Structure formats: C-alpha cells, structure tokens
Amino acid sequence: MLKISETDEIIFTPELLVKFNEILLRYPEDRQKSALLPILHLVQAEYGWVSSPLMDKVADFLQLKPIEVYEVATFYSMFFLKPPGKYMLEVCRTGPCCLVGAEKIMKHIEEKLNVKEGEVTADGLFSWRGVECLAACGMGPVLQIAPEYTFYENLTAASVDELIDRLRLTTAEKAQIIL
Amino acid sequence: MGRKLLLENINVPGINSFEVYRKHGGYRAVEKALKTMSTEDVVEEVKKSGLRGRGGAGFPTGMKWSFLAKPEGKPRYLVCNADESEPGTFKDRYLMTHIPHLLIEGMIVASYALGAKTSYIYVRGEMMPQIRILERAIAEAKAEGFLGKNILGTGYDLELYVQPGGGAYICGEETALIESLEGKRGNPRIKPPFPAISGLYNCPTVVNNVESIAAVVPIINDGAEEYAKLGIGRSTGTKLISASGNIKNPGVYEIELGVPVEEFIYSDEYCGGMANGKRLKAVVAGGSSVPILPANLILKLTTGENRLMSYESLAEGAFASGTMMGSGGFVVFDEDQCIVRNTWNFSRFYHHESCGQCSPCREGTGWMEKVLHRLEYGHGKLSDLDLLVDVAKKIEGNTICPLGDAAAWPVASAIRHFRDEFEWHVSHAEEAMGRNYGLAHYADPLPKAETIAAN
C-alpha cells in the first residue's frame, strides 16, 4: 500500500488507547468505523490538530484505509488540518449573531491579536476564525475556544479583551511554574 | 402563564442531577411504561398525543414509530438527533445543559417502545460541555438501574451512548446523521429505503429530535389525551421556541401552541418586545431555512386575523404570504437591519454547509452567495434579482435532501417580500454602503389578500 507519510514514529499513549478501546465497545463488533469521529476528536485534543501521519495511525488502529480517515477529517469543519494557535477562538458569524454585533467582535479580535482569520500569533498562543451557527443565538455574540470548547456568551469588546488577557496571563503563569 | 411540560422544573437548583430530577417526579415515565404498558401501548399513546417532530419537518412522531420494520434477527435502533445547527435554534442546547435527565428518560421510554437495545444520542461536536453533561447523566441513570441490563427488573436491556459529530450542519438530516454515525462523511442517502426499513448499519432505525424525545415523558406521565388538550387543532402540546435577534428578552420559551405571534413578541412573558425602542421589521419564524416575513405578514394573516404560533397558522398563505414553524428558531429583525446583508449571510451559511453531493445545491448555493455578495457590496445589477429567483427555483426540489430547499427559500422569500430594498441596493449602491434601507412600508397595514397572491 502506498503510504503518504511515515506513521511509525507516532505512538499513542496507553491512556489514549484505553479511551479508544472504550469507545469501540459502543458499536457492534464489525462496525469499528463508527469510532472514527470520537477518536479523531481525542487525537486532536491530544496533539492540537490532525496531521496526515496521525490520520494514518488512526487508520491503522481502526483497520481502515487511510483515505477513509482523510475524507472524514476534511469533511467536518472541526478538524484542524494545520496547527492552530494554542487557543483557537471560534466566533459565530451567522445571521442571528450578526444582528447583535458578531461582525464587530470579529473585527475587534483581528485588531487585538493583530493576525488575520486563520493565522496564528507569533507566540503560537492564538488564532481565530469565524464559524457557522453555534446554536446559541439568544446569547449572541458568542465564541468557543478549541480544543476544550469552553463557551463565552453575550460578548462585548471589553469582555473579549479580558478573556484574551486572562488566557495570556494563565499561560505565562504556567510557564513560570515549569521554569 | 402557559402550562410548561418540559421546562417546568428547569429552574430547580440541581435539576441536572439524578437525585433532584428524581425527587421532582423524574423517571416516573420509565416506571409506568416498562412496568404497566406494552411497547404497542407506548407507540399508540404517542400517536394519540398528536406530537409532531420538533426538529423541523413536523412529521407525526407516533406515525414515524409505527413505520419501523421489525424483521426477525435484526437489531433496531433509536438515534436522537442532537446535531442542533439550524441558525436561530438553540433549544436543544438549553434542554441538554439544564435538564439532561429529561432527554435520558425520554430515550429509555422511546427505546423500549421501539424495541431498541442500543440507542445513540448524536450531539454536534462543538457541544463538548453538553456531551460531558449527558455522559454524566447516563452514568447516574445506569448506577440507579434505569439503564443497562434488566432495567427495574423488567427484563428490558438498554445501552445508551453519546456520539459526537464533527461540525457539519448537514448531519442534522437524518440519513446524513446515520452516515456520520457510521464513521463516514455526512452525505445524505437517497430515500427510499427510509431509515425505518434500513437505517443505521442497514437496520431499522428511528431518528428523533431532542425535543420530540423529551416530549414523550409528559405524554406517558399524563396520558395522550391530557397532552392533546394543549395546543390548537393539529398543533398539539407545547413547543420550545428559541427567540433571538433584536428583542428585549432573548431565550428559550416553552409555549402552548396557538399563542398569537404578536403576544409572543411583545408580551413580557416571552420576548418582552423590541430592544432599544426600535420597531419590528421582519421575522424568521422557524430557523434560517423558512421564508422570512415582513412585520405586517408575520403578525396578521391576509384575512386580517392574528397569526398564531402553530404549524398551520404560520404556514397559512403558503409561500405567497406564509412561512413555517420549522424548528422554532424565532429570529427578530428591527428597523436597523439590512435584509440584503442577512440574506447574503444565510446563503453563505448554506454554501458552506452543502455536502457537495448534488450539483444544483453545490453550485447553486455558491452562485447565490456570490450574487448576493455583489448586491450587498454595491456591484449588483437589477437583473440579479431575477437571476437569484431563477437559481433558487432550480435548486428547489432537485436535490437528494432538503438542504437545497432550505438554501433556496430564504433567498426567494427575501426577494419576494423585500424586493424594493434589493432594488434600492442597486439604484443607490453608494448610499446603501453607508446606511440601511430602514423600516420602509414593511410594517404598514396589510395590502388586500388578492394583491399579495398576485405577486
């Protein structure tokens, strides 16, 4: 079989494999392909994105052809095919949120972070993008932060500033502890 | 205050835990159904209640259940559609966040009725916090003997799992959801066969919306007759309405079907009226897919009577002057909103979410987005309006699933009812970049029925 990339250097941790195997129990025996989306989510949470070697490794684990994983990972908008910032701010850009100011919030984030949609800040901490309806229209404007998917509602320029500053501070404090 | 069936206890502290939920009468429906009713009794009860699918299509739930094939030796599945993604709709998020056990309880009763031994709740992937909430609730219910082997000693076994989606609107379409649950791209299947015959893993399957499943609980507890007493005509019971946009009190409201639209918008019990002293311009009454209506048409029928929040009344006048209940995503626009911009925004949504399988939808949604973009940004032509109507018509009815229709209707209805605003964007392109068209005549008293029908 033609391999696009080397898969051998990636080793899923035993903890991750335990989770994978728990997921497999949810489906009939010959239907392990059903585990693909939940497993891709776990992989992305662990590695930050889904690279082709990771997808190949998932294919190996589920005994699928690599293409079966690629076609799924590229279809669903939640899977990152290139590394985002440590915090990926996803702002709802659909109609109802725009009625209450989502476009202004996106513009504000772009200026505050000084990177364009989809780009990553120089320190690797942040990236942002507009996403389609997050099903929280009554609390708009809203954003979520991948990979944890923490959710923030009724955004204002001030609350976004506070959020970003807090994330910066938390990261800096964590770095201090490690040092 | 209207009667609440689903959200009655939503504000009880700790209602998201098994203990508090149980203390407030939770899981009585499971006891009643499993211990005193046959599976046919439960299906019959739901049929009699008149409950209609709350996800958007409004198909009678009991009838859907009765279509489920029961071949020997094949498992049957119940899948809950919690892939809530229709712009304007956020009721399922609310319900799962605050009262998850109501959904779990409904899933147990419905699974029992359908003879399912394994059921899934397919939750949109972005709702990771809700997935964790549901998984905790399932674990609690299992520990208390309401899930797993031999539930309450009745001999009925059921395993319930939560499956995350991946952020694709199309997976709210039931066959796309099934594909996705099988680990594939969310491409809708050609019907027939319907899922009731061949669904998940080629087995008979029922897919129901979160709210439909939750509504089974009060139907079993109080009986179909009590449930059907609420509502109006063929719109029985209560409905969760997600209210958003330029209103004082956005949020999720449980209404008895039949409340006048005017009361829903202006009464303090619900939306509380328009925010910031503005006036009402338009409403999208059932999620982004349904036709948008100007203020005068959403409040009144062309006969001059009040329009009501019911399946029938919202649809009264068909496409000429009516809309649809859809999923109950009620989006309110004030006089400062631009209909052209919103139509472009919605068409971008459908272009982004088209799975790409059928060319009319794949190409048409992109085409409409492009034309609407140039209208919004001052490069439109008058002929673009007819072009949009033409493209919308050619998508409608020519695709495997209803996403094509859902993309076509908002565009066609916006041009039908707000044509002068679109024309103004062409004739006053520069001015349109700087200010909005405003309220115009959209709130004026209704023209005669014949005039509307002729348009």
When pLDDT is averaged across residues B142-148 and rounded to a whole number, the result is: 98
* B446 is a domain residue: no
CA distance B334 to chain A (A): 9
Detail the residues of A annotated as belonging to a binding site. Answer: 92, 97, 133, 137
- Is any Cβ of chain B less than 8 angstroms from the Cβ of A40? yes
CATH 2.60.120 fits A14-75, yes or no: no
For residues B203 and B77, membership in a common domain is answered with: yes
At B94 the pLDDT is: 97
At B452 the pLDDT is: 55
CATH number, domain with residue B364:
1.20.1440.230
CATH number, domain with residue B247:
3.10.20.600
CATH superfamily, domain A87-178, is: Glutaredoxin (3.40.30.10)
Rounded to whole angstroms, how far apart are CA atoms A138 and B91? Answer: 10
* B41 is a domain residue: yes
Cross-strand pairs, B282: B294, B333
Detail the residues of A annotated as belonging to a binding site for [2Fe-2S] cluster. Answer: 92, 97, 133, 137
Where in chain A are the domains?
Answer: 14-75, 87-178
Question: Does residue B450 register a pLDDT over 60?
Answer: no
For residues B61 and B105, membership in a common domain is answered with: yes
Look at A170 and A56; give whichever has higher pLDDT: A56
CATH number, domain with residue B55:
3.40.50.11540
Residue with tokens 């033609």: A2
Q: Chain B residue with minimal CA distance to A148?
A: B128
pLDDT single digits (tens) B65-110: 999 999 999 999 999 999 999 999 999 999 999 999 999 999 999 9
* B371 is a domain residue: yes
Question: Does residue A177 register a pLDDT over 90?
Answer: no
Which string of DSSP letters, residue by residue, matches A26-56? Answer: TS-TT-GGGGHHHHHHHHHHHHSS--HHHHH
At B448 the pLDDT is: 58
- Using alpha carbons, list the distances in angstroms from residue A18 to A12, A164, B140: 10, 34, 22
Cross-strand pairs, B17: none
For residues B80 and B36, membership in a common domain is answered with: yes
Closest CA to B389 of B407, B412, B356: B412
Q: Chain A residue with minimal CA distance to B186?
A: A75
For residues B258 and B225, membership in a common domain is answered with: no
* B238 is a domain residue: no
End-to-end CA distance of chain B: 39
* B7 is a domain residue: no
Check residue B287 and report its DSSP letter: S
When pLDDT is averaged across residues B222-250 and rounded to a whole number, the result is: 97
For residues B216 and B302, membership in a common domain is answered with: no
* Confidence bin at B111 (pLDDT 50/70/90): very high
* The two structure tokens encoding residue B142: 């299992």
> Where are the strands (E) in B115-165, listed by range?
118-123, 159-164
pLDDT single digits (tens) B270-301: 999 999 999 999 999 999 999 999 999 999 99
For residues B224 and B365, membership in a common domain is answered with: no
Check residue B160 and report its DSSP letter: E
Cross-strand pairs, A57: none
CA distance A170 to chain B (A): 21
Give, for B345, the enclosing helix (H) or strand (E): helix B339-353
At A147 the pLDDT is: 87
Cross-strand pairs, B81: B122, B209
Q: What is the CA radius of gyration of chain A?
A: 18
Give the residue numbers spanning the domain of B279: 243-332
For residues B299 and B217, membership in a common domain is answered with: no
Residue with tokens 């299906």: B43
Q: Phi first, then psi: what are they for B330, rounded to 5°? A: -100, 100
At B447 the pLDDT is: 64
